Structure 1
Amino acid sequence: MVTLCFISLYAFIEVSVFKQDTKQLLLNVRLDAVIVWQDPELKWNTTVYPYDQVVLPVNKIWTPEFYVTNALVTNMKHASRDLLVFSNGTLKHQVSVTAQVSCEVNLFNYPFAADDCPVAIESWASDDCGTQLELGHMTPIDGSHGDWQTDAVQLLKQGEGRNYIWVSLSIKPSNPFITLLLPSVLILLADVGSFALPLTGGERNSFKVTLVLSFTMFLNILSEQLPGDGQCSPIIRIHFCICLVLLVLSMLVSMILTRVAHDGGLLMCCCFGGSASKTTKNKKVDDENKPDISVVQLNDSEENQTLRKVRHFLDGLDEKEVENERRQKIAHVLDRIFFWIYFICTTGYFIGMLYVMARYTCIVNHFDFWL
Structure 2
Amino acid sequence: MWTDPELGWNTSLYQYEQVILPVNKIWTPELHVTNGIKTMMIHSSPDLLVDNNGTVKHTVIINAEVDCEVNLFNYPFASDECPVAIQTWSLQECGTKLVFGILKMVDGSHGDWRTDNVELQKVREDRNYIMVALSIKYTNPFITLLLPSILIVLADVVSFALPLRGGERNSFKVTLVLSFTMFLIILNDQLPGDGKCSPIIRTHFCVCLVFLVLSMLVSMVLTRLSTDGSLLFWCCSKGSVSENMRKKDVEEDEEVKADISVTQLSGSEEDSQMLRKVVNFLEGLDAQSLEKKTNR
- Counterparts of 2:22 and 2:194, CA distance in 1: 48
Aligned: 1:107 with 2:72: yes
Match of 1:121 in 2: 86
Amino acid at match of 2:38: V
Q: Find 2:182's aligned residue among 217, 220, 230.
A: 217
Query: Contact 1:57–1:83 (CA<8 Å) still a contact in 2?
Result: yes
Alignment of structure 1 residues 168-247 onto 2, 5 Å: 168-247=133-212
Amino acid at match of 2:88: S
Alignment of structure 1 residues 13-32 onto 2, 5 Å: none
Amino acid at match of 1:44: W
Per the TM alignment, residue 122 of structure 1 is displaced from its structure 2 partner at its CA by 1.1
Aligned: 1:70 with 2:35: yes
Amino acid at match of 2:64: A
Query: Contact 2:90–2:126 (CA<8 Å) still a contact in 1?
Result: no
SS in 2 for 1:141: coil
- Counterparts of 2:34 and 2:255, CA distance in 1: 104
Match of 2:59 in 1: 94
Match of 1:283 in 2: 248
What fraction of aligned residue pairs are identical, expressed as a percent?
65
Per the TM alignment, residue 274 of structure 1 is displaced from its structure 2 partner at its CA by 9.4
Q: 36-45 or 58-67: which moved more? A: 36-45
In our comparison, the structure showing a higher alpha carbon Rg is 2
Aligned: 1:155 with 2:123: no
Match of 1:7 in 2: none
Amino acid at match of 1:83: L
Amino acid at match of 2:244: T
- 1:274–1:238: structure 2 CA closer, same or farther, 3 Å change rule? farther
SS in 2 for 1:247: helix
- 1:252–1:291: structure 2 CA closer, same or farther, 3 Å change rule? closer
Amino acid at match of 2:245: T
**Under a length normalisation based on structure 1, what TM-score does the superposition of the two structures give?**
0.64
**Under a length normalisation based on structure 2, what TM-score does the superposition of the two structures give?**
0.79
Query: Contact 2:177–2:213 (CA<8 Å) still a contact in 1?
Result: yes
SS in 2 for 1:116: strand
Query: Contact 1:55–1:83 (CA<8 Å) still a contact in 2?
Result: yes
- 1:161–1:273: structure 2 CA closer, same or farther, 3 Å change rule? farther
- 1:216–1:201: structure 2 CA closer, same or farther, 3 Å change rule? same
Match of 1:330 in 2: none
- 1:67–1:202: structure 2 CA closer, same or farther, 3 Å change rule? same
Q: Find 1:167's aligned residue among 132, 138, 163.
A: 132
- Counterparts of 1:94 and 1:141, CA distance in 2: 15
Per the TM alignment, residue 235 of structure 1 is displaced from its structure 2 partner at its CA by 0.8
- Counterparts of 1:191 and 1:281, CA distance in 2: 44
Per the TM alignment, residue 229 of structure 1 is displaced from its structure 2 partner at its CA by 4.0
Question: Alignment length, in residue pairs?
Answer: 263
Aligned: 1:268 with 2:233: yes
Mind listing any 5+ residue stretches in structure 1 that lack a counterpart? 1-35, 300-371
Query: Contact 1:256–1:265 (CA<8 Å) still a contact in 2?
Result: no
Match of 1:256 in 2: 221
Per the TM alignment, residue 287 of structure 1 is displaced from its structure 2 partner at its CA by 7.1
Match of 1:85 in 2: 50
- Counterparts of 2:199 and 2:261, CA distance in 1: 86
RMSD of equivalent CA atoms: 2.9
- Counterparts of 2:195 and 2:120, CA distance in 1: 26
Mind listing any 5+ residue stretches in structure 2 that lack a counterpart? 264-296
- 1:208–1:54: structure 2 CA closer, same or farther, 3 Å change rule? same
Query: Contact 1:106–1:231 (CA<8 Å) still a contact in 2?
Result: no
Aligned: 1:140 with 2:105: yes
SS in 2 for 1:270: coil
- 1:41–1:230: structure 2 CA closer, same or farther, 3 Å change rule? farther
- Counterparts of 1:291 and 1:277, CA distance in 2: 20
Q: Which has the higher contact order (CA 8 A, sep 6+)?
A: 1
Per the TM alignment, residue 228 of structure 1 is displaced from its structure 2 partner at its CA by 3.7
Dislocated runs of 4+, deviation >6 Å: 271-275, 296-299
Query: C-alpha offsets along residues 184-224 of structure 1, whole Å, 9 cap, x if unaligned?
Result: 11110100001111112100011101111211222233334
